Amino acid sequence: MSSMKKIESVADLPGVGEKIAEKLKNAGYIDMMAIAAASPLELSAAAEIGEPTAAKIINAAREVLDIGYEKATEVLKRRELIGKISTGSKNLNNLLGGGIETQSVTEMFGQFGSGKTQIAFQLAVNVQRPVEDGGLNGNCLFLDAENTFRPDRIKQMADALEFDGTEVLNNIYTARCYNSDHQMILTEKAGELIKEKNIKLLIVDSVTSNFRADFIGRGELAARQQKLNRHLHTLQRLSDVYNVAVYITNQVMSRPDILFGDPTTPIGGHIIGHFSTHRLYLRKSKADTRIARIVDSPSLAEGETVFRVTPEGIRDPEEK
């Protein structure tokens, strides 16, 4: 063993080398944990290598990190590192068990104007606050898939909290996603930026719109779901590996076969439902009030609450 080269970086892994390491880095696999958490199919596509070679690289990374079964107490220790970001509403925070949490993918779906993007803007501001004020002392990565990113609105929310709006905007890194491929590339490369820029929150608004536009008709459904599955897997891996909060918004469609109750259902089917750790449905109420309901969560109780979307940001009904 002493004669073997010590593995300190991705390039040192057996079968990698500088050329493949560069390809992996460009695809977002920048450290050992990202490699270890990948599948052979993903890695072979990213580095343009065969699946058997990719499997060997992954196994080598897992050996270096000593990945395997662990005691539940170790999992508990890791979960103690989870941070929570305030939404701006105590009601909504309580429904979420304290706020939007790291190591999780939180999905909010609803019709246009239900408050999904407004919550995203508020989180982009609040993540920069100190921990004692509902933040994580971190920055935000915002993937804009629907051309909804509005820096002037974020500045308005920051000003309401007496923050320096320009400084807040400087700590938000945004990219416009023009199609599903572009969206996937940006997500796969996010790991490097997360480490470099102290990113604690990754927002995708919305996660399904480009996939819906790129794959039209029933004949394209299987291909769309397969691609969406890979994209969601990347988001989940980023939340786990880098301990960041992932907040995604989702569109809804009308179900004409539902005669009673709310006919709206989220886009993406079971795949997105299974990948989202916490799933909430937002709907409009009177004036500026909105209703949020927990649809699915492994740790949160079912329930709903009311919040407001005000010029100052996300607030509770009783706040002026």
Q: Where are the domains of the chain?
A: 10-65, 78-315
Higher pLDDT, 302 or 7: 302
Give how far Cα 90 sits from Cα of 18, 93, 278, Å: 50, 5, 18
Least confident span in 12-16, 86-90, 177-181 = 12-16
pLDDT of residue 176 exceeding 60, the answer is: yes
pLDDT of residue 1 exceeding 70, the answer is: no
Beta strands in 102-234 (DSSP E): 104-110, 139-144, 172-176, 199-205
pLDDT at 259: 43
Whether 108 contacts 280, CB under 8 Å: yes
Residues 6+ apart with CB under 8 A from 165: 154, 155, 156, 158, 159
Region 204-231 average pLDDT? 82
Handedness of CA 154, 314, 250, 246 (dihedral sign): positive
pLDDT digits (tens, 9 = 90+) for 133-157: 999 999 999 999 999 999 999 999 9
pLDDT at 268: 62
pLDDT at 260: 47
Which homologous superfamily does the CATH classification assign to the domain defined by 10-65? Answer: 5' to 3' exonuclease, C-terminal subdomain (1.10.150.20)
Question: What is the CATH code for 78-315?
Answer: 3.40.50.300
Whether 46 contacts 27, CB under 8 Å: yes
